[in-house]
Structure 1
Amino acid sequence: KDLPIIQAVRALGDLESAKALLDERTAEWMKLNFPEVEDTALACIIASEFGDREEIEFTRLTELVGEEKATQTMTAAQNSFGAEFDLRDKKALLVLARNGAALGETRKELEEYLQKQSETVLKNLTCLIDALTAARLVARAGGLERLAKMPASTIQVLGAERALFKHLRKGTPSPKHGIIFQSTLIRNAQATKRGKIARALAAKLAIAAKADFYSKHAIGEKLKKDLDARIKAIKKGDAPE
């Protein structure tokens, strides 16, 4: 059950890389015609919807980016010093830009799949962290079984192997967290508290992974309640080392 999750996570990474490259190229191409557009996302929207600054429709652009930005963009387009595109230029850019937009839609569908699949297969893990982070954790470990066999200390820094290797080789500060930093429990915490919170979260994740793989018992809510209490104590400064 976890193997499709691993493949989906890897595919998601491939899609994100491909989309980033396509968007960068699309924006550079669009800026030949409309150099005043500095924002890559906006340039890609204009390219995929219109293909030419002279083809921009205010009503449609407003639907996509809001009235204020649409008004600013229309003003800039009317006074642009960009090069003119002929029909062939426009069509070629539209194809490229719409392929990038299609990758974005595929990414959303994959994320929705991972959300549902993780909530089904990783029921306890997803009580502690969001479904996408849980999926990435399993993929990085190489499967749910391998994650279930890992100690909490390894889970804590999973995904930060380069930083850990650098720490061991050169004595740089050891990483406090890896993939689990994506959890809002850590990301939104004070920097001085993140290490302790990461340890607390990793300890519960280790238990949750074992339950998801071995017993299938639903203990996630209990783990979450205990974790919340632990984090509350850490934030108050009452938690022991």
Structure 2
Amino acid sequence: MHKVDKALENESNDHDDPVDEYNLILDCNKLLVDIENEIFIVHNFIRDKYRTKFQELESIVHNAIEYAFVVKQIGNEMDLSLVDLKGLLPKATITAVSLTSLTTKGKPLTEDELQKTIEACDRVLGLDSAKKKVHGFVESKMGSIAPNLSAIVGSDVAAKLIGNAGGLSELAKMPACYVQLLGQKKKNLDGFSSATSQSRVGYLEQSEIFQTTPPGLRLRVIKLLAGKSTLAARVDDASGVDPSGTNGKALKEEILRKIKKCQEPSPARQPKPFQVPDSEPKKRRGGRRLRKTKERYAVTEMRKQANRIAFGVAEESSRGDGLGQGFGMLGQVKSNRLRVSSLPSKLKLNAKKLKERQYASSSGATTSGLISSLAFTHVQGIELLNPRDIGLASGTQSIYFSELGTLSKLKTL
């Protein structure tokens, strides 16, 4: 508390030297950190003492200042319907505290424990009051200490960022993702959905730009604010570079321009015109393979006749009386055949010629295996002819019909 009184006394004095003023701001920031630590320690003491009376209260009320107000207001009262908590907590939190008090198993505190708890609550509230006064002093000096940062997020948010970071130099060294989380606190939703709650947001949500942004764009805007605030803090950290805050104003205009751009509706879809037709003849695939394919899948004469219908003449069908598949002009008066004859296909002719050519090339000078020396006559029946007379003396057949040929004799053992 002595440090708080000293800071408040220095507030009334005039400091013409900017170095002394900046050092005072740094001292105030360190003082704010000390106050935060002391509030945390005293808050833990209050929770340990009051846990015997109302253990579930610390899981409902997370803020240390609100917890001290509620404990001081309730005291040793067991029936919370007699305690007025309006103005201290939101309505949903008051309802949760009232319903939980009906099922709690706590016991009243002794007079000594209750007195120590109330004194601790008064100490927390006094520290919070001193913290607000120091914050007000730092905010009044932000225009000269950090003009660019104050131009973007405001003097009050700039003071909180610098105080939480531990100084302007420490804030300038932080990345944007850490600046976004400065001052983040756990929010008590009291069983409600967390879909609309802003998570991973700290002091920057108190800035004017964030509050005036539509909810759908706030996640994108908070990242922009964190990045531009880091740049502005680095400009302010280099003393004497931009004391008028011109860079901060330019960065703020850039953020507002991007927000306006995001809110613009998407451009209407323009009708796509048709492509200009190409009057030049296109190249078509030709050649022997394409001609064969066309001939293979060409419509036969039979199918052409079946697709035609004579005028005034009933066509025949597969089941008769017009039922089933119709035959068209197949089998009409002037047609004695069901299948109209057509010229042989070129493919079939080419395949036949190719087969004959392969057969001739494979046979060569050798005689056919179907030629035999046996002759059939209507007088003699089967007659064995001389191969020499019919030209079959070549090859192995000349051995059997040769005059010099003899039968081989096998020796038996």
1:46 and 2:91 are equivalent in the alignment: no
Out of 129, 149, 160, the position equivalent to 1:105 is 129
Which digits, 9 at most, give the CA deviation of each residue in 1:152-176, with x for residues without a partner? Answer: xx93xx236xxxxxxxxxxxxxxx5
Where in structure 2 are the equivalents of 1:89-100 lying within 5 Å?
89-100=113-124
Displacement of 1:225 in angstroms is: 1.6
Largest Rg, 1 or 2:
2
Which digits, 9 at most, give the CA deviation of each residue in 1:24-78, with x for residues without a partner? Answer: 2212321211223232446533322342233857453123224554355345435
Q: Distance in 2 between matches of 1:204 and 1:231?
A: 19
> Higher relative contact order at CA 8 Å, sep ≥6: structure 1 or structure 2?
1
* Pair 1:228–1:190, CA change in 2 (3 A): closer
Q: Distance in 2 between matches of 1:71 and 1:101?
A: 24
What is residue 159 of structure 1 aligned with on the other side?
174
1:14 and 2:34 are equivalent in the alignment: yes
- The answer as to whether partners of 1:58 and 1:71 remain within 8 angstroms in 2 is no
1:25 and 2:45 are equivalent in the alignment: yes
- The answer as to whether partners of 2:46 and 2:121 remain within 8 angstroms in 1 is yes
Secondary structure, in 3 states, of the residue corresponding to 1:95? helix
Q: How many aligned residue pairs are there?
A: 208
Displacement of 1:8 in angstroms is: 1.4
What is residue 62 of structure 1 aligned with on the other side?
86
Moved more, 16-25 or 130-139: 130-139
Q: Distance in 1 between matches of 2:92 and 2:126?
A: 26
Structure 1 counterpart of 2:179, which letter?
A: I
Q: Distance in 1 between matches of 2:138 and 2:50?
A: 33
- The answer as to whether partners of 1:123 and 1:218 remain within 8 angstroms in 2 is yes
1:34 and 2:49 are equivalent in the alignment: no
* Pair 1:67–1:2, CA change in 2 (3 A): same
- The answer as to whether partners of 1:46 and 1:52 remain within 8 angstroms in 2 is no
TM-score normalized by the length of structure 1: 0.64
* Pair 1:208–1:84, CA change in 2 (3 A): closer
Out of 234, 245, 249, the position equivalent to 1:221 is 249
Identical-residue share of aligned pairs (%): 12
Secondary structure, in 3 states, of the residue corresponding to 1:53? coil
Q: Distance in 2 between matches of 1:111 and 1:70?
A: 29
Displacement of 1:188 in angstroms is: 4.5
For structure 2, which runs of at least 5 residues remain unmatched after alignment?
1-20, 183-203, 211-216, 265-413
Question: Which has more helix, going by share of residues?
Answer: 1
Q: Distance in 2 between matches of 1:110 and 1:221?
A: 26
* Pair 1:82–1:178, CA change in 2 (3 A): closer
- The answer as to whether partners of 1:56 and 1:74 remain within 8 angstroms in 2 is yes
- The answer as to whether partners of 1:58 and 1:74 remain within 8 angstroms in 2 is no
Structure 1 counterpart of 2:110, which letter?
A: D
